[in-house]
Chain A
Amino acid sequence: MDFALVFVQMLNGLQLGLLLFLVASGLTLVFGILDFVNLAHGSLYMLGAFVCASLTFLTGNFLIAIALALPVMAVIGWGIERVVVRQLYRRDHLDQVLGSFGLLLVFDVAVHLIWGPAGIAIPLPAWLDTHIGLAEDVVIPVYRLLIIGTGLAVAALLFWLVHHTRFGMLIRAGASDRTMAGALGIDITRLFTLVFALGAALAGLAGMLVAPITEASIGMGNSVIITAFVVIVVGGIGSMKGAFIGAMIIGLIDTLGRSFIDDGFRLIMGTAAAETAGPAVSAMLIYLLMAVILALRPQGLFPPSGR
């Protein structure tokens, strides 16, 4: 097997994993701490992409647009929590699923009304819209490296936030025993709003980062949300470390599966059969992994401690 190709595919897997982590981290925070099943998390990812697209055309610079769009997404998250999500905390999970599914439909239609049915491609500055050769056979788009860098930086920032700051301590306290945390004088309501806004900004950031590769389009969040749920189930619901490692595993398995599985199949079956089976199996791989994890270790690989 070609070493350069494997290396490039590892980088591609890493990049996919980091994007998934940004979505899954918000999802796991909201699910783990607020105990709220947020199907509309993918809508925040989509909104992030569209808001960023509009701001890019307004300001003429993608990076400035991201800097402006992040607080916008946090404010949108804050608004959603105050208006809708807050009413659902005391309900059971089915009501939450129905409520957030309703939100998802509302956002899809709202985006259709505001931005129209066509997707929006986001232009990148010239220095990002090119590629570099890391070695003779290893050519990679600069923008993919930017995603990897941003993803790692945000992951580091989140770990620092959760494990070494007062806000993080409150988050962890709220997660392990919300009644006790409230009794000790922590404003749980405000904490929850902040966590939800943080999750919205993270999902939005993932959408903004992916939009210049694909484009901002309606329903783009609905596919990523499924994969993000797979990530947090594999990693352990409510665990930031689990979300990170789960996202890396899913990103690598998905990418490497797409790249090499049909070659592998060709060794054991005919070319025609491998060409049919390869894409089918590679699309299933991450769900197979989830099924195995659920059977052997239902709490996930890294369940949060203290629960």
Chain B
Amino acid sequence: MKKYAMAALAVSMLVEPLAAESVKIGFVTTLTTGAAAIGNDMKDAATLAVSHMGGRMGDREVEIIFADDGFRPEIGKQVTDRLVKQDNVDFVAGYIWSHVLLASRKSVLDAGKFLISSNAGPSAVAGKLCHRNFFSTSWQNDQTPMAMGEVLNRQGVKSLYIMAPNYAAGKNMVTGIERTFMGEIRGKDLTKWGADAQLDFSAELAKARASGADGLFVFYPGAAATAFIRQYTQAGLKDTLPLYSVFTVNALTLPGLQAANFDSVLGSRMTQSWDPTLDNPANRRFVSDYRETFGRVPSFYAAQSYDALMLIRAAVEAVGGDLSDQDAVRAALKAANYDSVRGRYTYGTNHMPVQNFYLREVVADAGGTWTTRVVATVYENHVDPYADDCRM
């Protein structure tokens, strides 16, 4: 008996290397610092995606390696290098922050790997620095504020004060709103960002009040959002200076705002390419399983991360698990032949999604939980403004 067992073991050891190796995916996000909540959401969504695909892409197993960028470009680049060189991954996905993506992109692309951004969309990667192996499951930074500018024009807002963090994405957001908003910009502040970001906005809010603008447009992702909304509320600006935001109020910030009962946020509006209430089968499954597994509403970061994994699976399956033919993999990625939680979309010439942008509103759902719902569609199949700069 023992002999047979040994023989079986020997055979299995011989056979093992012949079985298909797993598809390796590196996933870079922020798992420490105050932004860890975002990274955590993305990690949970990626894990859920892997469990939804039964741990396999086609007949190959999936191995996903998470890495922490510490909210810093230099660390992001370092862990990206490690994923590419040491772990030899096939795809690198993730990236919350535009400055981290910009610092890390070269490591992935020079090594001939595929890079899928699940959030960051700095103007450079959509335009001059576009690359055949780069794809996004999010948006280009300018697009969401452009949609907001459109909404403000329709509402008849005449003048704006603008606040955003001083880094690649913050600047893109400001450019975005300035592209479409037709009224007057009364002033703007770019505040310090990064692991030691400025979180006390008293000086800027005092300036905004003194500017006499009709409205205040802000972009404050992550932990800065709660800080901003609290100070905005405390300063009593709600009635004199209505707040219009992008990527600031979302499923990650709402529970904290609700726990602290900042009800001034109810009814506030923002634009986005995805919402938990979007009615399609993939989204229904994603949102309900996510809520059941993790006990919270997924954020857009989660949705885009889930999509990144699903996009990769669609490509791996389309080429029958053979990743050696890069052109075929690239073509399969570009086809975006999968059920995105935002609904089907296509890829533009620069590999940015051509997709809808919605106006969303903060509401209390049937269970009393604060969440968002879609009010209107602002853009249909919107192409980002940098696509023409891309020469591939």
Residue numbers of A with Cβ under 8 A of B are 2, 4-5, 8-9, 12-13, 15-16, 57, 108, 112, 116-123, 129-131, 137, 139-144, 210, 212-215, 217-220, 222-223, 226, 255-256, 258-259, 275, 278-280, 283
Distance in angstroms from B204 CB to nearest chain A CB is 7
A275: B residues at CB distance < 8 A = 188, 190
Whether B13 sits at the interface, judged by CB under 8 Å, is no
Distance in angstroms from A200 CB to nearest chain B CB is 22
- With the chains together, A119 CA to B200 CA distance in Å? 15
A283: B residues at CB distance < 8 A = 166, 192
Whether B209 sits at the interface, judged by CB under 8 Å, is yes
Given contacts A117-B39, A121-B260, A123-B261, contact A129 B195 (CB under 8 A): no
A256: B residues at CB distance < 8 A = 203
Segment at the interface with A among B3-11, B224-232, B337-345, B372-380: B224-232
Name the prevailing secondary structure of the A interface residues.
helix
Q: Are B227 and A215 in contact (CB under 8 A)?
A: yes
- With the chains together, A8 CA to B202 CA distance in Å? 9
A16: B residues at CB distance < 8 A = 200, 202
- With the chains together, A279 CA to B197 CA distance in Å? 13
Distance in angstroms from A137 CB to nearest chain B CB is 7
Whether B331 sits at the interface, judged by CB under 8 Å, is no
- With the chains together, A129 CA to B232 CA distance in Å? 11
- With the chains together, A15 CA to B34 CA distance in Å? 23
Q: Are B209 and A141 in contact (CB under 8 A)?
A: no
Q: Are B210 and A137 in contact (CB under 8 A)?
A: yes
**A118 partner, pick from B189, B231, B256, beta carbons under 8 A:** B256
A120: B residues at CB distance < 8 A = 256, 259
Of the listed residues A210, A214, A280, the one surrounded by the most CB atoms of chain B closer than 10 A to its CB is A214
Q: Are A8 and B39 in contact (CB under 8 A)?
A: no
Given contacts A4-B210, A279-B189, contact A119 B34 (CB under 8 A): yes
**A258 partner, pick from B33, B40, B204, B226, beta carbons under 8 A:** B204
Q: Are B235 and A121 in contact (CB under 8 A)?
A: no
- With the chains together, A129 CA to B203 CA distance in Å? 18
Name the residue of chain B whose CB is nearest to the CB of A123: B260
Q: Are A218 and B206 in contact (CB under 8 A)?
A: no
Q: Are A214 and B203 in contact (CB under 8 A)?
A: no
Name the residue of chain A whose CB is nearest to the CB of B296: A118
Q: Are B261 and A117 in contact (CB under 8 A)?
A: no
B200: A residues at CB distance < 8 A = 16, 210, 213-214
Name the residue of chain B whose CB is nearest to the CB of A219: B33
Name the residue of chain B whose CB is nearest to the CB of A212: B230
Q: Are A213 and B230 in contact (CB under 8 A)?
A: yes
CB contacts between A and B, total, < 8 Å: 129
Distance in angstroms from A115 CB to nearest chain B CB is 11
Whether B359 sits at the interface, judged by CB under 8 Å, is no
Interface residues of B, count at CB 8 A? 44
Q: Given contact pairs A129-B234, A210-B200, enumerate 6 new A-B contacts (beta carbons under 8 Å).
A: A12-B202, A12-B206, A120-B256, A213-B231, A215-B226, A218-B36
**A279 partner, pick from B40, B190, B231, B233, beta carbons under 8 A:** B190
Name the residue of chain B whose CB is nearest to the CB of A283: B192
30 A–B pairs (Cβ distance < 8 Å), ordered by A: A12-B202, A12-B203, A119-B37, A119-B223, A119-B256, A121-B256, A122-B260, A123-B259, A123-B261, A129-B233, A129-B234, A131-B235, A131-B236, A139-B209, A139-B236, A141-B231, A141-B236, A143-B234, A213-B199, A213-B231, A214-B200, A214-B227, A215-B226, A215-B227, A215-B256, A218-B36, A219-B32, A222-B195, A279-B189, A279-B192
B291: A residues at CB distance < 8 A = none
Q: Are A259 and B32 in contact (CB under 8 A)?
A: no
Q: Are A217 and B223 in contact (CB under 8 A)?
A: yes
A143: B residues at CB distance < 8 A = 234
A9: B residues at CB distance < 8 A = 203, 206
- With the chains together, A217 CA to B37 CA distance in Å? 10
- With the chains together, A108 CA to B34 CA distance in Å? 10
B262: A residues at CB distance < 8 A = 121
A212: B residues at CB distance < 8 A = 230
**A139 partner, pick from B195, B197, B226, B235, beta carbons under 8 A:** B235
Q: Are A223 and B234 in contact (CB under 8 A)?
A: no
- With the chains together, A220 CA to B224 CA distance in Å? 11
Whether B243 sits at the interface, judged by CB under 8 Å, is no
Given contacts A212-B230, A223-B195, A279-B192, contact A118 B252 (CB under 8 A): yes
B261: A residues at CB distance < 8 A = 123
